[in-house]
Every structure is written in C-alpha cells, then in structure tokens.
Structure 1
Amino acid sequence: MTDLCDMYQKKLPVELECGLHLFLEVMNGKWKLNLIWCIYSGIKRPGELQRRIPKASRRLLDTQLKQLTDQGIITKTIFDQRPAKVEYALTALGESLIPVIEVTARWGEDNREVLEPLFQSPAS
C-alpha cells in the first residue's frame, strides 16, 4: 500500500534562494511548531502529543511528525517491545529552532492586545 505522503508531489518548486523560504518550507504545517515545542518540553510519545494537541487529528500529527523527521528536525526511535513504543527527540537542527520559537512567542504576547481582537469571532 502506497503512503499518501509519498504520492504527493508539490506543484511549485521549493524556493531555495532565500533562507526565509527554507525556514517557511520546514515550518509549513499548522502543528509543526507545537510539535517541536512539545518535544522540546519533554513530551516524546505519540499519544502524549495527541493529548497535548487535541484539535489535530492523529493522522495529521503523524504526517507532520514524519515530515519533521525527514527534514532532520526530530528523530524517531522505535523500541523493539510489545506493545510497540515510539519516542521522538529533537536533533541539533531542531534544537536550533527553540530560540526562534521563543522570540516568536514573545512577539505574540507583546502584541496580544492589538492582535487578539483581529481573530475573535464577532459577538452574536
């Protein structure tokens, strides 16, 4: 059975001329930053990640975890035991994203008063 992730081909080539494009290509995915932060915070198992990010489907999380693994941001260790056990960890490349995530989160907090009203639903 062919994995849908393997069948998908991008319609547009990845822009390699600019570091920002490379960064955005790696971070392209709604839950990738959350996954990286959770793993950094000590949440290593798929079930724990699912409980921490309940709005995301398990399938979507699995897809984005595979992408992060393929991109060298995280590693996946499969333990030879029953029941099966899988753990994720950040690579050195993944660890290098932590300061970027912290600065980005700080920017969001510093600008919460301006930004939050833009994303709230109008009162019924």
Structure 2
Amino acid sequence: MKKILLATLLAIVALPAFSADMVCHLSVQPGGNVFGNGTSSCFGIDFSFGNSTTGSWSIVNITKSIDRVVWTDGCSSGLSCIVNVPAYSIQRGKAYIHYDDGSIEFVEATMHYETGH
C-alpha cells in the first residue's frame, strides 16, 4: 500500500504544471480609467457616451510547444486579437491550448466597459 501511495504521489509531482494565462487589455478615452490591464479581469470606464471601445485578448506565459489554440469565445485564431467591447456587457475570452505533448489547458479572461450614457 505504501509503495502504491508513493508511486501515485511521485506521478502527481512529475506532471507538467500548466502556466499559461489569458490576459486582457482595455482601451478607454482620455480621462477615463482602466483597472486590471494585463490580468485576467479588466474593467474600464470613461465618459465618451459611446457604445463601445476596443480591447484585446492575449495568451501569455506559455512554457511548452503548442500544437494549436482553439478559441471558444473572443478570438478566432492565434495567440491574441483585438476585439470590439460593447458598453455594459461582459466580454469573455476562452480558449483551449493543445500542446505538442498531448496535454490541453483551458484559459479565460473577462472585460467589462462602461461609459457615460
């Protein structure tokens, strides 16, 4: 029993640690404020009275070779993209990273934008 437990613990420790992150970057008009750029949760506010602003999703901190990235929300392909962020709605970026070693990692982030209308 001890040998099985030890082998299980060693197998868990030997598993590769996932470390990729999805981060957001939100742009607002001058005089506005953004909180969380470069993290997985961005919030921005300005008083432009517009209906939307721009933002971007990026997958960062990748330490293994990637086979492909499958986006389910946010971008259509690649490791990053620029998106339109409508006011007063939460935008989500979600992706599965398929690594060359056969492992898969899920990453996600959110953006929220408010304006003066």
Structure 2 length as normaliser, TM-score? 0.22
Q: Which has the higher contact order (CA 8 A, sep 6+)?
A: 2
Structure 1 length as normaliser, TM-score? 0.21
Where is the helix percentage greater, Structure 1 or Structure 2? Answer: 1
Q: Larger Cα Rg: Structure 1 or Structure 2?
A: 2
